[in-house]
Structure 1
Amino acid sequence: MSEQQPERPGGRRRPSRQIYVHLPVADLASSIAFFTALGFDVAPDSTDADATALVVGEAAFVMLLTRPFFAGFTRKPVADPTVTEVTVAVSARTRREVDELVDRALELGAQPCREAQDRGFMYGRSFYDLDGHLWELIWSDPDAFAA
């Protein structure tokens, strides 16, 4: 089942799979405006009246789906926005970028989740987006993991 992928510099293999996290949203246009203001790109070929794809990384996407459209993917009820069902954790290039992104999210209407978590080699902050989904921005010191 494992498909051989070409090596990247440093001997690491290219990811053989992509990940798509689907999140229900109440107002797709507002969610798109919020996340593009944070610096996420939208994949225009994956956007229509019911959904859009936020490009998180080379092989990682968050699909923002209208609640009725999202409901078509499951037989269970769509979770109440006040319930945390998943945490979307995204890496940042620097500690400063963590702070900049979370501060910007809060300015755009997100709600704070908890105080910053500083473990020296890892730093993170979190927020609830416009629909109450929990997002974490995390920076890890690459030198700490190389040792």
Structure 2
Amino acid sequence: MPKLIFVNLPVADLPHSIAFYKAVGATQNMQFSDDTAACMVLSETIHVMLLTHPKYRSFTTKQIPDAKAVAQVMIAVTEDSREAVDSRVADATGAGGSADPTPTQDHGFMYGRSFEDPDGHIWEVVWMNPAAVAPQSNEAAA
């Protein structure tokens, strides 16, 4: 079984966040959703858990930062083409997100843009030309 990633994000308005993530291509897994959380599926291996602030606080005693004021993480996902990168950012902007909170990257073989969700969480969207990326071993150097 491939490893799965679950990104847990605190959100101020769960229904609004669900609508936003649907607009950027996620589907909702109702089996892991309720009035306090929504499991949004980006791919077979990437899931975003949208958690109300009270639900998020049940997992940690740390303060929830205001992602509109501070950046704690930037989450990067890949797309299949430069056009798909632009399309994902346009979808996010059309759904109430903000486009390009970080600098656009264009290195020819790699292209990346970003968006913020309604709570200020930064998502980077990246395309890399597979022919320009040499396969690398996952083994650590001895």
TM tier relative to shorter chain: 0.7 to 0.9
Aligned to 1:66: 52
Structure 2 matches for 1:1-147, cutoff 5 A? 15=2, 17-81=3-67, 82-112=69-99, 113-146=101-134
Identity of aligned residues (%): 44
Q: 1:146: how far off?
A: 4.0
State the partner residue of 1:8: none
The alignment of Structure 1 onto Structure 2 pairs a total of residues equal to: 133
Find the aligned partners of 2:22 and 2:91 in 1 and give their Cα distance.
11
Give 3-state SS (helix, strand or coil) of 2:61's partner: coil
* Conserved? CA contact 2:25–2:42, under 8 Å: no
Alpha-carbon offset, residue 110 of structure 1? 0.9
Deviation of 1:54 after TM superposition, in Å, equals: 1.3
Counterpart of 2:98, as a letter, is Q
Q: Distance in 1 between matches of 2:78 and 2:33?
A: 24
Alignment gaps of 5+ in structure 1: 1-13
**Normalised by the size of structure 1, how large is the TM-score?**
0.85
Provide the TM-score with structure 2 as the length reference. 0.87
TM-superposed deviation, 1:115: 3.8
| RMSD, aligned α-carbons | 1.4
Q: Which runs of 4+ in 1 moved over 4 A?
A: none
Give how far 1:145 is off.
1.2
